[in-house]
Chain A
Amino acid sequence: MRSNQPKATENGSKPSQYFEGNRKGEVNELKILVKNTINEKDDKKKREVVKKVIAYMTLGRIDVSKLFPEMCMASYTNDLVQKKMIYLYLTTYAEQNKDMAFMAISTFQKDCKHNDPKIRGFALRNLCSLRFSGAIEFLMPAIKEALSDIDAYVRKTAIMGCVKVFYMQPEQLNNIEDQLYKMISDNDPLVIINAIHALNEILAQEGGMALSKKMVDYLLGRLKEFNEWGQATILDELSKYSPKDDKEMFNIMNLLEERLKHSCSAIVLGVIKVFMNFTKNKPQIYEQVITRVKLPLVTLASISEGNFEIMYTILCHIKYIASKGYNSVFASDYKSFYCRVDEPTYIKLLKLEILSQIACDFNLGDMLNELGEYVTDVDQEISKKSIQALGAIAIRLPDLATAIVKQLSSFVTLQDYITNEVILAFKDILRKDPKHIKDCLEIIQSDNITDSNSKIALIYILGQFGSQIPLAPYILETYIGAQESVELKHTLLTSCLKVFFVRAPEMHQVLGKLFYVIINNENEDIDLKDRAAYYYRALKSNANEVKQFWQYNIKVDKFLEETIINKEALLFEFNSLSVIYEKNVNKFIKPIEYFNNLRSKELQDLNQEQSQTQTTQEQTSDVIENPQSQPYGQTNGQTNDLLEISEQPQQQMSLSVDSFIVNFAIDADHFENMWTNLNDGATFTRMLVRNDIANETSIEQLFKQYRLYNIAAGEEENVLKMYFYGSHQCQVFFEFEINKNLSTVILNTRSEIEDQAYLASKYVEDFLRQVHLIE
């Protein structure tokens, strides 16, 4: 057992170097190695070889799928260690090796009838995972038999087999549902759970498994026989059930209540979901439910034993419940949501959001101190978020906003990024309640605002409250003519105008300067210019009337964002990813067809990539070909024969003179434009063998015969450079160079479609060869 893994995994830091350039050789070597060891007697040696293959499979850097026939051969072994590894290999690559997968089937079949139920189950599981339609005729009989096997391990495997078949050839299943429903009364809990999963997938169209009262009673009666995941599955089923009456509802809820003491978060959330769904139309009981589930939730959210991931999920659900209007339920537990030094950023950010939601009159004092501490946190993200949290509280609790505004103002002497964030918070607070402006004055007039969005917020505030900010005109003036975004300039224009109406004497000159700078700037945004010009003329004709239009007050009661989010949130399904992402389910779940597309696209790309590396490798000795050449008509993995295949279609598809448009014309600008914007398409370099026609006129004539037209040419120190263009399916552009010193001919071809550049390059090469200009 000297080396248990291939070198590649050991020097993991630089494995690519190990593989680069010699991929093909590596695979062949491995192939021979496997072939040679098939007849090896020593199982230990054989194991090592198979293990090596699996290691490469895991790394995925070289494609070991070509070893499929050898691995099929190797599967005829009695050594279970090898067999397990080989089956893992076969199930991984059967999809790509459909034709050869047959070879393996007989050993699977044999094992499906083995005396040992462990092997029966194991063989069946892998047979069902082969994923190629040819296996079906062997598969269904094996599954049918296994469904009534004496051993539960085989039965539960057979049920999963049904789901696998369902995704290959659903019609083969042939009303298997009845049998699956029957298996819910099996003795073995795992068989039952698998039957539920299977029914839910097979009957997904009809909304999953049908749940009768009888079945609910039965499953609840046996609930404790199931492991954690089984219980979570049953609870999820139960959440779809509607009890016939209150009595039944309370019975079920009483039965489940003690499960809230479980340490497994999946079960606790599962129970809560049942409770919430059962009582959603009974607001009073619903509220009692929320109060009841608070304690276990807070406990799960604080006890992490290093498991921050679970903690995150629980916190997301707490935040969700709080956002549904039950924030007061968690208000007394506010200290549980304080950030701790050992927590990752994602937990801290979430806790800050929860704190801002559950703040209320009796906890705000403590909480302000705590949030204030976070503002100086070394992590800027935490710092910014805590300022946002304070801002959000001020907006939600207008009666307590004054204290918060005062606290925010006290951060003004700290770092720039803090001041920037505070200004943003102030903007929203002031929009909601303008009276706080008197407490914001200091920060507004401080000069360490650096972020663009914060500047915009500041300019907005200056405009809106110009009459109360002594320095407003002078701060505004500093922004005139500065290199800033158009958005900022728009806000600046509006704000200057607003301040002008209240402080005309001070603003008169500033506004004039602003108009001047905008209108006389040639490169200015045209819309901004129009606005400035319009205001200018309007003010000139009747300033007082304009002033009247501007004097109105917008008071914000509720921000639009708040209401939209709340409405959407009502539709989120509890204990689902919607709660985590805060997105509606249709925003992140797509039907299987979408993924099938992704996969087939990926497979195509993979094949192309493989064939490209092959062609370049094979052809380097021959000619320098376009490295991006694509194998036409080539779609799936017969990469072994690729060279022949890729040669043939190229000849078939080669261009002829007829493909090009006669006397096609473009202007020089267009050419230059296209040439500079296109990527390198195809390039070749050849030896020049005939000097007599290597001059501008002859070459131009020659290309013209082939309907390619010259647009520019020049000769310098025995190097002739000419540019040509032509058009067939698309436009193609050439840079043609004859270097008489070196006796070389170089052609660069570019086109919007890379294939076409390649074909055109071939086309030119052919006719150059015909006139013996090149070899």
Chain B
Amino acid sequence: MFSQIFILSPRGDTIINRDFRSDLPKSTPETFFRQAKTYSGDANPLFTVDCIQFVHIKRGGLYIVGTSRFNLQPAMSLELLDRLAKEIKDFCGVINEEVLRKNFILIYEILDESFDFGYPQLMATEQIKPLIVNDPIQPQPDSVMNSLRPKIQTFNIFVPNTIGSQAVQRSVLNKNQANEIFVDIYEKLNVLFNSSAYVINQSIEGCIQMTSFLQGNPPLKLALNDDLQIGRQQGQYSAGVILDDCNFHECVNANELDMNKTLRIQPPDGQFVVMNYRISGDYAAPFRLFPIIEEVSSSKIEVTIKLKACFDAKIIASYANVRIPIPKQTANAYPELVKNAQLETAEYDSNKKIVEWQIKKLCGGQERSLKIKLTLQATQTAHTARKEIGPIAMNFEIPMFNVSRLQIKYLRIEERGNTTNPHRWVRYITQSSSYVCRI
């Protein structure tokens, strides 16, 4: 199993370093960081150097790394590190460099209860909670450090900045906290349009995620749509919600799902994913993109992009960003918004040759457009350069909206005991995973 577990900052500084078995060299953090830097993108999660096995995950910019001299089970070792990251998140509220540096003693405590001699021990937040003696130290929210830090890139990957998420960014150790549970239905959309706005590929990856601050971990009963169906038969059409496949957390009993669409849950403390699901069927894409490319002259191109929000007018997307790669031989590019455009910006990054169009708020039914005027360098003609435009990628989040129509009918706490009825917060969030339009 693991010989050591260490956590490194994005610059390679050691923040946490725990040697469980003392059977590997002490210089492994340097070895790891050096090797990780040899990859042009992110490093492979598993690699070997000098017959030392390195397993790592990246969370909040930090490298959480396990080492071993054994032929590990790769999935198990990664799941363990992921579990460790979740524990840290449960105890500290969030996971980032500042919080980890402030709470390193607490994290050593968590590590020592979670692993002994490198083997996983107590890994559930509620099991460790009674054994922890240190209190979490919250980072000062308005510290100078925070305001100086560059904003997290809103493109790529999961954006944690969703509405109300502050409420769940707190420690399970907080003694005077409300007796409550948060339920999120996340759906990440994957849509691929071809140049004539025809959908080539689409799918939904969704999950029901809970963050529980319930006192006494009472059993829960969660009911989903009546017309829910799991497993898709070839060529079958149905009005109901069809999931291609799904899987469940250890704490979930799904025996009654087929019968009466309910899940029985024995909730642990903190954050966990009740259920993951995957839908490959057709659905109405919430945004449509219509790119038009015009060769104005042999050295000038005009790109017009229309964006249409095809959902109910009551729903508001909290942001919608569009990224348009333009030819490498571009001499200059002028993105032009329509007149009186509000809460919209468009910028050209001449290093990356990308135009970023950011829309802060977008109501359903609305349409926006952007015009980009490109001037090419003399070495390339408009005709060959236009091939290099695109693909256009979109990044968005729409709260209180889900395309699959999967719904939570009710969430019941089965044995209430003496406590007051706990608060139950349910949110629906739809995000882009890979929302791409090719030209």
Contact = CB atoms under 8 A, between A and B. Distances in A.
Given A266-B73, A576-B72, A303 B137 contact: no
Given A81-B133, A303-B278, A345 B246 contact: no
Given A163-B117, A296-B247, A345-B41, A575 B436 contact: no
Contacts of A366: 200
Contact of B74 (A264, A373, A378, A580): A580
Given A54-B108, A577-B71, A595-B24, A227 B123 contact: yes
Interface string A571-586: 0010111111100010
Given A236-B73, A312-B44, A335-B201, A80 B57 contact: no
Contact of A58 (B50, B104, B122, B207): B104
Contacts of B21: 167
A60 B71 contact: no
A584 to B, nearest CB: 11
A229 B123 contact: yes
Contacts of A308: 42, 45
A432 interface: no
Interface stretch (A8-16, A651-659, A755-763): A8-16
A704 interface: no
B262 interface: no
A142 B245 CA distance: 51
A547 to B, nearest CB: 44
Nearest to A10: B101
Given A80-B133, A302-B205, A602 B75 contact: no
Nearest to B77: A266
A410 to B, nearest CB: 11
A316 interface: yes
A32 B46 CA distance: 44
A299 B247 contact: yes
Interface string A314-350: 1010000000000000000001101011111110000
Contacts of B1: 197
Contact of B76 (A266, A306, A413): A266
A341 B434 contact: yes
B79 A265 contact: yes
**Main secondary structure on A side of the interface with B:** helix
B25 interface: yes
A575 B434 contact: no
A1 B137 contact: yes
Contacts of B200: 366, 369
B156 A12 contact: no
B436 A341 contact: yes
Given A4-B137, A5-B102, A302-B278, A194 B53 contact: no
Interface stretch (A84-92, A281-289, A515-523): A84-92
B85 to A, nearest CB: 10
Contact of A340 (B13, B74, B244, B434): B434
A299 B22 contact: no
A673 B159 CA distance: 62
Interface stretch (B169-177, B308-316, B387-395, B396-404): B387-395
A381 B19 CA distance: 36
Given A160-B116, A602-B25, A585 B71 contact: yes
A427 interface: no
A228 B433 contact: no
Contacts of B126: none
A512 to B, nearest CB: 39
A468 to B, nearest CB: 28
Interface in B362-419: 384, 387-388, 391, 393
B151 interface: no
A688 B403 CA distance: 90
B131 interface: yes
A157 B78 contact: no
Contacts of B43: 346
B11 interface: yes
B146 to A, nearest CB: 14
Interface in A1-32: 1, 4-5, 9-10, 12-13, 15
B186 A305 contact: yes
Interface string B103-136: 0110011001000110111111000001101100
Contacts of A5: 101-102, 104
Nearest to A339: B434
A125 B116 contact: yes
B423 interface: no
Contacts of B120: 229
Contacts of B73: 232, 236, 266, 269-270, 575-576
The 4 closest A-B pairs by CB, nearest first: A340-B434, A345-B41, A266-B76, A309-B45
24 contacts: A12-B9, A84-B133, A88-B112, A95-B22, A160-B117, A194-B121, A228-B123, A262-B248, A299-B246, A303-B276, A305-B205, A313-B45, A314-B75, A336-B280, A338-B192, A340-B190, A340-B434, A341-B436, A346-B44, A373-B438, A575-B73, A581-B48, A585-B71, A598-B25
Interface of B: 1, 9, 11, 13-17, 19, 21-27, 39-48, 50-53, 56-58, 69-76, 78-83, 101-102, 104-105, 108-109, 112, 116-117, 119-124, 130-131, 133-134, 137, 156-158, 186, 190, 192, 200-201, 203, 205, 207, 209, 244-250, 254, 273, 275-278, 280, 325, 384, 387-388, 391, 393, 433-436, 438
